[in-house]
Amino acid sequence: MDIVIPLFEDFEPLDAIGPYQVLGYLPGATVRFVAAGERGPVADSIGGMRLDVPIRYADVEGCDVLLVPGGHGTRPLMDDEPFLDWLRRTHTTTRYTASVCTGALLLGAAGLLDGLAATTHWAAAGELAAYGAAYTPERVVHRGRIVTAAGISAGIDMALLLAALLIDETTARAIQLHAEYDPRPPFDSGSWAKASPAVRERIKEL
């Protein structure tokens, strides 16, 4: 099973690493990072991590799962027609095409979300309609071969769903146990609806 995650400058680290942590344990699976630009080091959006990516996206002709992370680096790619065309071609080969956070905007720009319900990071929710998608404020939205996840941490939830779809639920639950993914956050402020006005203002400052 070939799972491909394209990386680009300013990608959101957990968008990629969270699903990688889950899907890398699927029996028979290989997870490959491919460069959405040139081969070599790719920096995350925080700036403290650089991953060496030796394979360029154009070298990949197909895969079983295509998973597109988000981050500020999605913005230049939304007008990168060769990359968007690669997304379209690769999607024709997949069992599932997925996104995390603003990776959904790249799927939308490639025309893959037209007429579908989808989710993304709350800050980008209003942009999905421009691509014919209906924003749904859920952590994971599964429509046929397309699976979209909301912001950052939701990619782990989405990857666990993919694990169940690709193998079975017991395997997904076992990987969840291995990761000890049993969230009990100290604050109940993980969505725009739950956040106080003060918290909403603080995130804008941050």
Residues 201 and 184: their CA atoms lie apart, in Å, by 24
Q: Read off the tokens for 96.
A: 């599932």
Type of residue at 16: A
β pairing state of 40-43 and 30-35: unpaired
Pick the catalytic residue from 4, 14, 35, 101. 101
Backbone angles phi, psi at 100, to 5 degrees: -125, 135
Cβ partners under 8 Å of residue 151, min gap 6: 70, 100, 101, 120, 121, 122, 123
Judge contact between 130 and 108, C-beta under 8 A: yes
Locate tokens 């981050």: which residue? 71
User: Does the annotation mark 101 as catalytic?
Assistant: yes
Locate tokens 């609806």: which residue? 193
Active site residues: 101
